[in-house]
Amino acid sequence: MNKKKCEGFKEQFINLNENELYEHIQTCESCRIEYLEMQKLSEVLKTVKPYYIKKQNIIKTFKTAAILTLTIFTGFMATYLTGTYHQNNLSFDDLGFPTDEYGFILVD
Ligand SMILES: [Zn+2]
């Protein structure tokens, strides 16, 4: 019918409305093949989509877990290092030097 006018499926897909496109693929074999390919792809995408969303959620969960872990770890490290620092920060008095009331070494 209008086979010679066909500029390819993409052109038809853009220019025709759904009914016109459907009519066109009844008469144009190359477009029908492309349409069926697209339908197949659409089905594949529909099948894949839930998995993709699931994957996105897993990534989101993983990121949240990683951030939480880091935050908690940093908190622990800060507490631990602070505690260690205070433990190791011996005063002159602790080391056995004679000190004054301010903790300075007494020099006669
Ligand atoms: Zn066509």
Place of tokens 């693929």: 25
Tell me, in angstroms, the distance from the centre of ligand 1 to residue 76's CA.
67
User: What is the distance between the alpha carbons of residues 65 and 28, in angstroms, rounded to a whole number?
Assistant: 54
Tell me, in angstroms, the distance from the centre of ligand 1 to residue 48's CA.
29
Structure token digits, residue 75: 């908190």
Tell me, in angstroms, the distance from the centre of ligand 1 to residue 65's CA.
52
- pLDDT: which is higher, 18 or 84: 18
Q: Indicate the pTM of the whole model.
A: 0.45
Non-local CB neighbours of 26 within 8 Å, separated by 6+ positions: 32
Tell me, in angstroms, the distance from the centre of ligand 1 to residue 2's CA.
8
User: What is the distance between the alpha carbons of residues 67 and 77, in angstroms, rounded to a whole number?
Assistant: 15
pLDDT tens for 11-53 read 888 889 999 999 999 999 999 999 999 899 888 888 888 888 8
Instruction: Map out the domains of the chain as residue ranges.
Output: 3-88
Tell me, in angstroms, the distance from the centre of ligand 1 to residue 107's CA.
102
pLDDT at 23: 93
